[in-house]
Amino acid sequence: MISLIIHGGAWDIPDELVEAHKLGVSKALNIGWEILSNGGSAVDAVEKVINYLEDDITFDAGRGSHLNADGEVELDASIMNGSTFRCGSVAAVKNIKNPISLCRKIMDESEHIFLVGSGAEKFAIQHGISICSQDDLRIEREILKWKSIQGKNGFSTKDAFKFHTPAGTVGAVALDSSGNICAGTSTGGTFNKHPGRVGDSPLIGCGTYADTSIGGVSTTGWGEAMIKVVMAKTVIDLMEFNNGDPQAAAEKGIKILKEKADGFGGVIALNNRGEFGVAYNTPKMARAYINSQMNSPKILI
């Protein structure tokens, strides 16, 4: 069995943006599926899927991400190999075009797991990852959106999800032909966040988790709530104790998120048999998935 599931964020996706989200997750799925179908690794598939989504300005990851309160892009990401338990994470990086690739480099070549800000960018330079400018990451749509709320007080990160303002964190979980599972997540974070704010996406156990003996998870949503319930690891633990049912685990995870932290968002899960789970409590969630038992992929919003 080989299997791949991806998401492009859980929020109230407007009708006029639905097709762009469908197209984005569909193209990303095709990239990852080609890698897995040709015997490639789950790690390669997750990295390349997320690279594509980071480059697609439809989503809140990489180029086109939301701006923080200072009008800058700050990016967070993480990746985890479920066979080795090695992982890599970055947060608050301002000059990296594809932070998931920097996470992979940290996972593969560093004794550390989590690097932030200028330290993460220094590591990138030392390991052959090029630096970009803010102008390479900021786009007119996000600049205009940021300018429109300046001078307005009281806009919180929770408001961004309660009132369904745009958010499009991306993530992927893959199972390869060797039986390895990898999960990864990348985001520009919540719109108008405080500079230096870090959500769940780069935190192993909150936004990303993989254990090849059980499964893998990537999350999206209001990060402060996801952190409180350690969402990704919670869903993994639920799968471990429910005979590996990813759908039941995902649904229970979202129930816990809402009941314990009044949280909003979504989760994708994949078990070690290549079966899928998806749950969310926002109006919509962009996702796509396929495994070797399916005749064609599912592309859903």
Q: How far apart are CA 99 and CA 22, in angstroms?
A: 23
Binned at pLDDT 50, 70 and 90, residue 149 comes out as confident
Asked whether residue 156 carries a pLDDT value surpassing 80, the answer given is: no
Q: How far apart are CA 4 and CA 26, in angstroms?
A: 12
Question: Comparing C-alpha atoms, which of 300, 293, 248 is closest to residue 273?
Answer: 293
8 A C-beta contact, residue 205 and residue 65: no
Q: How far apart are CA 99 and CA 87, in angstroms?
A: 13
Q: Give the tens place of pLDDT for each residue, 165-181.
A: 556 899 999 999 999 99
- For the chain, how far is it from start to end, CA to CA, in angstroms? 25
Instruction: State the pLDDT at residue 6.
Output: 98
Instruction: State the pLDDT at residue 225.
Output: 95
Q: Give the tens place of pLDDT for each residue, 188-237.
A: 999 999 999 999 999 999 999 999 999 999 999 999 999 999 999 999 99
Binned at pLDDT 50, 70 and 90, residue 143 comes out as very high
Residues near 16 by beta carbon (within 8 Å), at least 6 away in sequence: none
Instruction: State the pLDDT at residue 150.
Output: 82
Q: Give the tens place of pLDDT for each residue, 40-79.
A: 999 999 999 999 999 999 999 999 999 999 999 999 999 9
**Both structure tokens of 229:** 């319930």
Q: Give the tens place of pLDDT for each residue, 258-295.
A: 999 999 999 999 999 999 999 999 999 999 999 999 99
Q: How far apart are CA 167 and CA 182, in angstroms?
A: 24
Instruction: State the pLDDT at residue 162.
Output: 53
What angle is formed at CA 32 by the lines to CA 13 and CA 103, rounded to 5 degrees? 85
Q: How far apart are CA 40 and CA 38, in angstroms?
A: 6
Catalytic residue among 58, 157, 165, 169: 169
Instruction: State the pLDDT at residue 168.
Output: 83
Known catalytic residue at 58: no
Binned at pLDDT 50, 70 and 90, residue 155 comes out as low
Strands 87-93 and 114-116 turn out to be parallel
Binned at pLDDT 50, 70 and 90, residue 158 comes out as low
**What's the total number of domains in the chain?**
1
> Once rounded to an integer, what is the mean pLDDT over residues 83-101?
98
- CATH code for the domain in which residue 230 is found: 3.60.20.30
Can you give the pTM of this predicted structure?
Answer: 0.96
8 A C-beta contact, residue 61 and residue 169: yes
Q: Give the tens place of pLDDT for each residue, 77-88.
A: 999 999 999 999
**Rounded-to-5 percentages of helix, strand, coil across the chain:** 35, 25, 40
Show the domain range for 70: 3-300
Q: How far apart are CA 209 and CA 229, in angstroms?
A: 14
Residues near 50 by beta carbon (within 8 Å), at least 6 away in sequence: 28, 61, 77, 98, 100, 170, 171, 172, 184, 185, 186
